[in-house]
Amino acid sequence: MILRLRTTETAAMRTPLLSRFLTIAFVLGLCLAAILGRDLRLGKDLRGGVSLVYKVEIPEEEIDPQSVLDTTIEVLKSRVNPQGIFDISIEGSGRDRIEVVMPLPGPDTRALAASWREALAELVNEGEIRESEVLASLEAGEIADIRGPEGSARALSLDVLVAADTVRKEARVAYNAVSEDASSTDRNLAAAAVADAEITFDESLAALMELGLSGERVRRILTLPNKPILERDEEGRGRRDESGNPVFGPGQRDKAFSSLQSEYPDLESGLTTVQSAYDEYESKRTGFDDPEDLKRLLRGAGVLEFHIGVSSADPQGVDVAGLRRQLEELGAGNTQSPLASWYPINDLGQWYEKPAELAALTANPEGYFSATRDLVAARQDGMYYLLLRDDAGKALTASDDDWRLVRASEGQDRLGRPSINFALDQSGALRMGQLTGANKGRNMAIVLDSEVFSAPKIQSQISGNGQITGNFGGEEIAYLRKVLGAGSLSAQLSSEPISESVLGPSIGADNLERGTEAFLFALMVVAIFMGVWYFQAGLIADLALLANGLVIFGVLMGVDATFTLPGLAGIVLTVGMAVDANVLIFERIREELALGDVVLRQAVKNGYAKALSTILDGNITNLIVCGALYLTATAEVKGFAVTLTVGILATLFSALFITRQCFLIYTDVLASKRLSMLPIAIPSLGKALHPNIDFMALRWPMRIMSTGLVAASLLLVSMRGADLLDTEFRGGVSAVMETKPEGEGRMMLQRAAVEEEIRAIASEISVVDADPSTKEGQRALILSQLGSAAVVTVGETSVDSEGNTTASQFQVKVATPAELPVDVAIDRVVVDTLVDRFSDRLDIDPPVTFTGMNDRNPGSRVMAVTRPTLGGVLGRAELRDRTTDMLGGAAVLLENLSPPLTANDIERRVDRMRSQPDFREASSRRIRVVGVEGGPEGWTSAAVLIRDEFRNYNEVDPELWQRDMADVEWNLIGQALRQPPSLSEVASFSSSIAATLKANAYVAVFFSFMGILVYIWIRFGSLRYSFGAVLALVHDVSLTLGALAVTGFLASGDGGLLGPYRIDLGVVAGLLTIIGYSLNDTIVILDRIRENRGRRRMATPKIINASINQTLSRTLLTSGTTLFSVTILFLEGGSGMRAFCFTLLAGLVVGTYSSIAIAAPLTWTQDGTRQSFASTGDSEPVSA
């Protein structure tokens, strides 16, 4: 629409308005730019995820606990997220705790993972050369299927092998044709010919096998960092283009992958497909597939080892040339030597000081490390490796007897240079003394989590205390201290999280969908109401609401803030508060227009001026509550505080600035003289909104009623006792069980039957002699709590033919026993017990038990496949399954499987575990599962056959095969089958975490009350106003808690609208919100009382009555719209925010009442009335 300015307007009038609109456009434009092309960062409760809290054992005498915590966090980050590509957050909490938060993959991400693994399997199937298949093809004379493209290296090598095989067979025929009467010379010549032919054949076969492409190598290259690398000249200086900009080349991964494609030109298409599938998967991947994978990696973090480096001048029996060849052909994890292995270098920047040295290192790493360090180095697929000793007397490893590094600190050597001092425990001191005493003058590598961080030279024997010296800079000192300090991490970090919260992606998506729908519906209804009630002004308010939302989301996305479920509730509440600001302004404008002698432009100006102080006071007090909440709450509730804070600031901007400029257009540009509203259009309605009720006469009946309600609420709270507190505040676990699919939906179970079955478990447990200090005693105490477990339905419910409530999801809450030691987590015991009892009805993979599953040494349960049948391998003649395709591999016998598993189940679990980072060296091994006892629908015993082309039992040292094949596979398969399942939602809090959260809640409420008390005292100049406001808040909190308590007596446990509700972190956020919102109501009335009393010292009953009646329309409109918004959220927002919304609903009702019945009357005293009339002659206001 084009607006034509009247000719009477001057440029001076237009310029300020234009500049203000340009400012508005600039702010909204910035917010829009922050939103476009970006995704909102969703919290764990809206997309699914896991939160783990660990305790770090920090000695009381530690003078810098924060440094220990920071070191722990840094090491854990490098362990679980080395490339920084995952959305995994690790942060400190307090003095000795860390919280790890990771999102869980949704269905789309899981589908992409399956696609890339399928593409990799197809590539490996095409590019891998299997010895058993080659031999079988040669025997059958059919090699076309394995030959590859004509002219390829594979085809040429196979032709050589076929020729060698022909010569071999002919030599055997010739040898067999030698008659018994032939001379010994002829027989020896024939035997020699056979031997030469066999050697030639073996060499040809080995050459062919080297041309195969393993899946492990492809995986390793794909996981290399791909940051562009600065190109350097011959002297090591960075190259620059003609404009002086640095020139970057391809990253490690791109270079290694390009080399791989050049090496296998016939597989270029398959390699490109795998790379594309992997990149697409990684672009959507934000963490590990399962919470247990994350916990397993955290348990294995911080493993410190010391290895003597292989000397390039004196390798002492190590076949360096052979190991170099194996590294190039087989990869670092597949070398075959009992003496030494290749270890990757963590940070290449620690091994040179000048650009020239870097140039020399990258040009010839073997020569550089040999000349400068007397170490054997190599480069393969973009990674740099050092060759280190593994044999006895040359290494101090994690597999040795228990030892640990207890301290690492900065110090000085005898020359005053910076050094690193470290100390070992008694066992470590003894072993370190043996290691260093026998290897003086050699380099000892410091290896953390299988990566080399440094390799200082041993100058003298080290026992309990050691010192690392050299020409170190500040960064190098910090680097070494971090590495050595992390060496005690495995002992410092609690083995299990003391608090755990897991929310499945499907539940997070449901929370997001329901919450968003509720928000949009509330916004739409509120916008329609404002338009209907305030006409043109309502449309201006609706524009302000849209601008408000744009600013909120723009700021949140601009700072990359995490959007949580409480944050969504905060936005819904912001809608109500934004409406409140507009209602205050519009009602003030309507009052000005009702005077009859004020033009519209002046009425608008007066309305904004008079509403300003009230709006500021109300929002500032809410900011005080947000501050208290942010400083004391958990991450999810902090999201609520941040969102509400941004919402408050956005409301002030939109209500006080944007709408003001819109009114200026309406009055100055359009020269409108009238502003109609529904109460103006219908005078009787306007009159009804300004009653003349004598609230002061009702103050004592209302006080008596309020006192009774507060007393009843406190009684109800005491009757509920600890049951009113959720697991966050009393310790315990909350788990959601979801039934398995059935037909088009899921299996439906009766809630009462589920509760009865769970509580029956406790009756099977005896706690008479339970010892809390033992594992068995702790388990008994934990299971005894199932007798009082709370079981409620989650999500949709139905009623069966017998009238029983049924559902497919059930939430089980179990409290921590009081006798249990501090920081003993109960979640694993509870979840495992529930899974064991309901495994046939839940949508999970239950853990499997089998004979010897806890044995570290597999013994005879892992056998080498050296015979053509499984019966021959296991010594059971009745098993006739052929094993020729697995010759040289391993057979893992799993006996007494419980519950029984199908072959596909075993293979799927093992394959998933094999894809995890800690088993990457075994990722390309082939497996086949053969049932031994039972049937196809479920085997009670089975054999897992594994084949690794580079770990053939017939070709490698038996000790190496046992270490790298048998032991690894036994551990891998055991973890795959034993891994605990993850329910769709689990939240666990130890007693110490619960105590901390409870204390934080008290602190948040206390600081909120104190901040409000001080602010109102300063703002209104009277402690009586502060006392009235705070007493009203105490009243509101008490009655809201009473409403929560009563649900425990009214609710049936069927997950309905009546709960039962308990006090959790969301409820605390709700209570603090009610404090702020109720206070906003109170301030509106108190501000009108202050205005009406004028210069009087105290307000009179008539002034208080008039003030309440004058603001009653605003109170009803604002409370009504906010109540409506929260009601929609309560009904449609899902169970995730229902307790929060119930708290708000109860609080809104009692908060509106207390502002009128409690706070306002307390501003009057009889003595104050006499003094007021004696000191001034001002007339008192009359209620309209």
Q: Is 899 exposed, middle or buried (0-12, 13-18, 19+ CB in 10 A)?
A: middle
Ramachandran area for residue 596 (φ above 0: left; ψ -120 to 50: alpha; else beta): left
In the three-class reduction of DSSP (H, G, I as helix; E, B as strand; rest coil), residue 406 is classed as: strand
Question: Which residues contact residue 546 at a Cβ distance below 8 angstroms, ignoring those fewer than 6 apart?
Answer: none
For position 142, what pLDDT does the model report? 74
Give the total residue count for the chain.
1184
For the sheet containing 985-989, what is the strand order? 89-93, 97-103, 49-55, 499-503, 985-989, 732-738, 809-815, 790-793
Q: How confident is the model at residue 307 (pLDDT cuts 50, 70, 90)?
A: very high
What span, in angstroms and rounded, lies between the C-alpha atoms of 455 and 445?
4
Q: Tokens for 575?
A: 């809608």
Q: Minimum mean pLDDT among 38-47, 601-610, 769-778: which range?
A: 38-47
With contact defined as beta carbons under 8 Å apart, do 948 and 865 qualify? no
Element at 412 (helix H, strand E): strand 405-412
Distances from the Cα of 823 to the Cα of 52, 494, 812, 994, angstroms: 13, 9, 21, 10
Q: How many other β-carbons are positioned within 10 Å of the β-carbon of residue 514?
A: 20
CA angle 774, 779, 780 (to 5 degrees): 100
Q: How confident is the model at residue 1183 (pLDDT cuts 50, 70, 90)?
A: very low
For position 5, what pLDDT does the model report? 40
Taking residues 225-243, report their average pLDDT. Answer: 74
Q: Is residue 279 part of a domain?
A: no
Taking residues 193-205, report their average pLDDT. Answer: 86
In the three-class reduction of DSSP (H, G, I as helix; E, B as strand; rest coil), residue 1180 is classed as: coil
SS3 labels along 804-815 = CEEECEEEEEEE
Alpha helices in 1094-1137 (DSSP H): 1101-1132
Q: How confident is the model at residue 1054 (pLDDT cuts 50, 70, 90)?
A: low
Question: Which residues contact residue 1132 at a Cβ distance below 8 angstroms, ignoring those fewer than 6 apart?
Answer: 514, 517, 518, 521
Residue at a domain's end among 916, 948, 979: 979
Taking residues 527-556, report their average pLDDT. Answer: 88
Taking residues 1062-1089, report their average pLDDT. Answer: 79
* Torsion (CA) 814, 819, 823, 825 in degrees, nearest 10: -30
SS3 labels along 594-611 = HCCCCCHHHHHHHHHHHH
For position 1041, what pLDDT does the model report? 92
147/85 same-domain check: no
Q: How confident is the model at residue 412 (pLDDT cuts 50, 70, 90)?
A: confident
For position 1039, what pLDDT does the model report? 94
1011/973 same-domain check: no
Res. 1009: pLDDT tops 80: no
With contact defined as beta carbons under 8 Å apart, do 912 and 160 qualify? no
Taking residues 216-238, report their average pLDDT. Answer: 75
812-824 pLDDT tens trace = 888 888 788 776 7
671/699 same-domain check: no
904-915 pLDDT tens trace = 889 888 888 887
92/147 same-domain check: no
Higher pLDDT, 960 or 716: 716
541/645 same-domain check: yes
Taking residues 291-300, report their average pLDDT. Answer: 74
Taking residues 499-511, report their average pLDDT. Answer: 69
353/403 same-domain check: yes
Taking residues 630-647, report their average pLDDT. Answer: 75
796-847 pLDDT tens trace = 778 888 878 888 888 888 888 878 877 677 888 888 888 888 888 888 888 8
679-684 — which CB contacts under 8 Å span 24+ positions? 679/533, 679/590, 679/1113, 680/590, 680/593, 681/535
With contact defined as beta carbons under 8 Å apart, do 49 and 104 qualify? yes
CATH of the domain at 1003: 1.20.1640.10
Res. 1173: pLDDT tops 50: no
Res. 1169: pLDDT tops 60: no
What span, in angstroms and rounded, lies between the C-alpha atoms of 879 and 871?
4
1009/1078 same-domain check: yes
- The single-letter DSSP state of residue 1094 is T
Q: Minimum mean pLDDT among 418-422, 697-701, 946-950: which range?
A: 418-422
What span, in angstroms and rounded, lies between the C-alpha atoms of 529 and 539?
10
For position 61, what pLDDT does the model report? 63
Q: Is residue 1032 part of a domain?
A: yes
- Tell the residue number behind the tokens 């084949």, with chain if given: 947
Percent of the chain with pLDDT over 70: 88
Q: Is residue 297 part of a domain?
A: no
User: How is 503-570 classified by DSSP, letter by letter?
Assistant: E-HHHHHHHHHHHHHHHHHHHHHHHHHHHHHHTHHHHHHHHHHHHHHHHHHHHHHHTTPPB-HHHHHH
487/348 same-domain check: yes
Distances from the Cα of 565 to the Cα of 862, 934, 1146, angstroms: 50, 48, 20
For position 11, what pLDDT does the model report? 47
User: Residue 1160 is part of which domain span?
Assistant: 690-730+991-1176
For position 1184, what pLDDT does the model report? 39
For position 498, what pLDDT does the model report? 75
For position 405, what pLDDT does the model report? 75
For position 882, what pLDDT does the model report? 82
Q: Is residue 1122 part of a domain?
A: yes
Q: How many other β-carbons are positioned within 10 Å of the β-carbon of residue 1002?
A: 12
For position 925, what pLDDT does the model report? 82
Higher pLDDT, 419 or 35: 35
* Cα 1109 off chain centre by: 51
955/890 same-domain check: yes
Highest-scoring range by mean pLDDT, 38-42, 522-526, 641-645, 1041-1045 = 1041-1045
- Residue of 55, 44, 58 lying closest to 106 (CA atoms): 44
173-183 pLDDT tens trace = 888 888 777 77
With contact defined as beta carbons under 8 Å apart, do 446 and 454 qualify? yes
Phi, psi of 994, rounded to the nearest 5 degrees = -60, -40
Q: Tokens for 46?
A: 């809206």
Res. 892: pLDDT tops 90: yes
Q: Is residue 106 part of a domain?
A: no
For position 1174, what pLDDT does the model report? 40
Taking residues 970-992, report their average pLDDT. Answer: 79
637/694 same-domain check: no
Q: Is residue 236 part of a domain?
A: no
For position 1176, what pLDDT does the model report? 42
- Residue of 1027, 1038, 1023 lying closest to 706 (CA atoms): 1038
Higher pLDDT, 559 or 391: 391
Alpha helices in 666-698 (DSSP H): 678-681, 683-688
With contact defined as beta carbons under 8 Å apart, do 47 and 261 qualify? no
* Cα 471 off chain centre by: 41
1115-1153 pLDDT tens trace = 788 777 778 777 877 887 666 678 888 888 898 899 889
Res. 656: pLDDT tops 70: yes
- Tell the residue number behind the tokens 């070398």, with chain if given: 335
Res. 785: pLDDT tops 70: yes
Residue at a domain's end among 161, 188, 211: 211
For position 10, what pLDDT does the model report? 43
With contact defined as beta carbons under 8 Å apart, do 1059 and 1045 qualify? no
Partner residues linked to 502 by β-bridges: 50, 986
For position 1053, what pLDDT does the model report? 53
CA dihedral over 1068, 1074, 1077, 1078, signed as positive or negative: negative
Phi, psi of 1048, rounded to the nearest 5 degrees = -65, -25
654/556 same-domain check: yes
Higher pLDDT, 470 or 1013: 1013
Q: Is residue 683 part of a domain?
A: no
Mean pLDDT of the residues in the chain: 80
Q: Is residue 84 part of a domain?
A: yes
Residue at a domain's end among 844, 870, 898: 844
With contact defined as beta carbons under 8 Å apart, do 896 and 944 qualify? no
- Tell the residue number behind the tokens 């897992």, with chain if given: 944
Taking residues 473-481, report their average pLDDT. Answer: 66
What span, in angstroms and rounded, lies between the C-alpha atoms of 234 and 252?
20
Q: How confident is the model at residue 946 (pLDDT cuts 50, 70, 90)?
A: very high
Q: How confident is the model at residue 944 (pLDDT cuts 50, 70, 90)?
A: very high
585-627 pLDDT tens trace = 888 898 888 887 778 889 999 989 888 888 888 788 778 878 8
329-360 pLDDT tens trace = 777 777 778 889 999 988 787 788 777 888 88
With contact defined as beta carbons under 8 Å apart, do 128 and 215 qualify? yes
For position 14, what pLDDT does the model report? 56
With contact defined as beta carbons under 8 Å apart, do 796 and 807 qualify? yes
In this prediction the pTM is: 0.66
Total number of domains constituting the chain: 7
Percent of the chain with pLDDT over 90: 8
- Tell the residue number behind the tokens 């959260």, with chain if given: 997
362-407 pLDDT tens trace = 889 999 999 999 999 998 877 899 999 988 889 988 776 677 777 7
Q: Minimum mean pLDDT among 291-305, 583-597, 785-799: which range?
A: 291-305
- Residue of 99, 101, 102, 92 lying closest to 54 (CA atoms): 99
What span, in angstroms and rounded, lies between the C-alpha atoms of 371 and 361?
11
1025/1143 same-domain check: yes
- The single-letter DSSP state of residue 675 is -
